[in-house]
Amino acid sequence: MDLKHAEIEMPKNIFKSLYFQVLIGILIGGLIGYFYPAIGKNLKPLGDGFVKMVKMIISPVIFITIASGIGRMNSLKGFGKTTIFAFSYFFIFSTLALLLGIFVANVFSPGTGMNAVLSPNDSQKIAEFSQKAHAFTTTDFLLDIIPKSFLSAFVDGNILQTLFVAVIFGVSLVVSGEKGKPVVDLLDNIAQPMFRMVDILMHFAPIGAFGAIAFTVGMFGIDSIKRLLFLIGSFYFTAAFFVLVILGTVGKITGFSIFRLINYLKSEILLVLGTSSSEAALPSLMEKLEGAGCKRETVGLVVPSGYSFNLDGTNIYLTLAALFIAQATNTHLTAAQQIALFSVAIVSSKGAAGVTGAGLITLAATLQVVPTVPIAGMALIVGVDRFMSECRAITNFIGNAVATIVVSRLQGELDYSKLDFAMKTGKPMYQGAPFTQTLSLTSGVKIGEKDID
């Protein structure tokens, strides 16, 4: 099948493209939240409802993608190789993100001069996060990967539990040999309408982004960020440096431009910005990465596991925020104490993965183990955390997209013809699917209805 002759119909009207609609939703939501905060607060259900709709489809998409991908393998060597490459990448770049946060905090010292005096009320403000962090130990995290039953992995919506069940089922299909092939074919057939369902749900993305941004601005207000603007600016600068320079260098070595990748994923990035949740764009990301030359089984394994183990934005935030609190409360940390903080963060950044409010919960878990920094100091950043969560989510999202492409390259399975097409046109290239359908509403592209040789 030669895809070079496929007719690409660009959107005749920019207003029909998803990324433009989401952008408009964000702008209108921000204006309503600013000028009519009471109304903005009441629009929260729109954002929550959209995120819930997307999360509804995440577990079955992950299960089908991983199980069918592994099931098509002739042996389990490829699965083991993918796992080793993926987790080696996760460890290296997650650690690099933690170190970058420490470096920037020491160079810019965003908390120096605040001279914050903590009160008993500050401890009450962060009690909820402390309790969740204390209850969620590394051991609990590992045991929680195992679901109570086969179906509970789908009912609870736990990504790691779904990943665990999908891997075991996929391995079982390989071991079953010829008898497992009909099941693999069935899963492939189910995958097509499942991803079309994702496209349908994406129609509601502008509404979800509109409601989420209106609530954020209406609830917390623009004025709340002025006092801590230096911290927010330092975090955004660090995240941008990590994405554009560090991941950009990785992309150049791998064979793609980070700027073109961002353009390719612009609809999903705006969706993450609007909802402050990288999970909102997970199904669409998996579809786009497959259309950019990554094999389905690699996408199915790396993306979901990366959402728990490759949180670059959260890791930058973790060490930067911890040192900010120390500086703001005039708590001097020696080099040895900062190394101890870094060592604890390596573990705690994985332990609270996938928990709602993971950024603050992970920070609380780290500060509990390193008592030198007063945990009550978290009260200083709780009010502006929401304004940093968008940047965390976007950095995590882009980091996992890069990780998937890199792992595909390391395995020698990256289809560069697809990757080049996607990077140059900003549109995915698909194989093995009917070209008479609208392949991705998120990309705004429709393939002409004619036979492709």
Q: Report pLDDT for 156.
A: 72
Average pLDDT over residues 262-279: 86
**Does residue 8 lie within any of the structural domains?**
no
**Does residue 327 lie within any of the structural domains?**
yes
**Does residue 54 lie within any of the structural domains?**
yes
Over the stretch 190-235, which tens digit does the pLDDT of each residue have?
A: 877 887 887 788 888 889 888 888 887 887 676 656 667 888 899 9
* Total Cβ atoms within 10 A of residue 194: 18
Q: Report pLDDT for 205.
A: 83
**Does residue 449 lie within any of the structural domains?**
no
More confident residue, 74 or 355: 74
Structural domain range at position 211:
18-440
pLDDT at 415 over 80: yes
Q: Residue 189 and residue 183: Cα distance in Å, rounded?
A: 10
Decide if 320 contacts 101 (C-beta within 8 A): yes
Alpha helix ranges (H) inside 246-334 = 248-254, 258-264, 266-275, 282-290, 296-309, 312-328
pLDDT at 138 over 80: no
**Does residue 78 lie within any of the structural domains?**
yes
**Does residue 452 lie within any of the structural domains?**
no
Average pLDDT over residues 322-329: 89
Q: Report pLDDT for 251.
A: 95
The DSSP bridge partners found for residue 446 are: 9
Decide if 384 contacts 226 (C-beta within 8 A): no
Q: How many domains does the chain have?
A: 1
**Does residue 249 lie within any of the structural domains?**
yes
**Does residue 243 lie within any of the structural domains?**
yes
| Most confidently predicted of 14-23, 48-57, 74-83, 342-351 | 48-57
CATH of the domain at 262: 1.10.3860.10
